[in-house]
């Protein structure tokens, strides 16, 4: 797993292209888009190596997981079409909500998506954007186990280093990140910042500005 240290300064905003409407909202760029893509390519290779024997159902945890999901699946597809061995890959979507402003709430709600019962007997790869307390993933895994899938693996692009963690660790981790509120690459703050391609640290002014 790649680790981004707590004292990592990241990069100044004006070294990269950032949408004008967010220029005053961000502290630093912490993971540039290109680095996300390079790490994702390697995660795809590791996943295919471990799960590549059977049909994989990739389950996207919406909304935050959608960019990572799309890019990861592109890399898996590329591996599939360029090697002697290949596996069918199908997709499913689930929507969960646990956050208000920059705080994880205790209730994790599944608010839509495909029927989990269809995953019975399948090799399921859950694709998530970020694990913080671990509550969302633990809830989802317990719901899923009721449906008796054959195998379940979890890949999360980010895992936050935080005392609030339950100790849960995904099977595959893109980057371990400091305990700050991160946005971009589909990670949001009250629905904003999904339209930003780098992962950035939000500043305190923006937390006020976009508060609900
Ligand atoms: P957990 O249940 O505390 O592990 O939180 C997981 C969910 O909270 C993730 O799926 C995200 O949607 C959201 N989340 C946690 N930390 C952040 C963050 O830094 N930025 C944006 N969303 C976050
Ligand atoms: Mg999420």
Q: Which residues surround ligand 2, an ion (CB under 5 A)?
A: 64, 129
- Separation of alpha carbons 14 and 18, rounded Å: 8
Nearest to 1 by CA among 131, 170, 163, 128: 170
Tokens of 55: 């049909």
pLDDT of residue 97: 76
pLDDT tens-place string over residues 4-18:
999 888 999 999 999
Pocket test for ligand 1, best of 130, 165, 187, 203 (most atoms within 8 A of CB): 130
Q: Are 176 and 8 in contact (CB under 8 A)?
A: no
Where the chain has pLDDT below 70, the residues are 1, 99-101, 104-107, 113
pLDDT tens-place string over residues 163-183:
999 999 999 999 999 999 999
Axis-axis angle for helices 33-51, 66-81 (nearest 10)? 60
Q: Are 118 and 146 in contact (CB under 8 A)?
A: no
């Amino acid at each position: 797993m790649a680790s981004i240290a707590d004292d990592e300064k990241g990069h100044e905003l004006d070294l990269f292209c950032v949408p004008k409407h967010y220029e005053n909202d961000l502290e630093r760029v912490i993971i540039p888009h290109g680095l996300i893509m390079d790490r994702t390519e390697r995660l795809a290779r590791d996943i295919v190596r471990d799960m590549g024997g059977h049909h994989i159902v990739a389950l996207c945890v919406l909304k935050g997981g959608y960019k990572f999901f799309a890019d990861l699946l592109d890399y898996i597809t590329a591996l599939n079409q360029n090697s002697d061995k290949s596996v069918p890959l199908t997709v499913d979507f689930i929507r969960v909500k646990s956050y208000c402003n920059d705080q994880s709430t205790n209730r994790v709600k599944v608010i839509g998506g495909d029927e989990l019962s269809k995953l019975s007997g399948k090799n399921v790869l859950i694709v998530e954007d970020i694990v913080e307390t671990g509550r969302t993933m633990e809830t989802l895994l317990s719901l899923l186990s009721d449906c008796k899938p054959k195998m379940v693996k979890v890949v999360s692009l980010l895992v936050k280093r935080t005392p609030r963690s339950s100790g849960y660790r995904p099977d595959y981790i893109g980057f371990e990140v400091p305990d700050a509120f991160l946005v971009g690459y589909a990670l949001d703050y009250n629905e904003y910042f999904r339209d930003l391609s780098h992962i950035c640290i939000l500043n305190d002014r923006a937390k006020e500005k976009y508060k609900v």
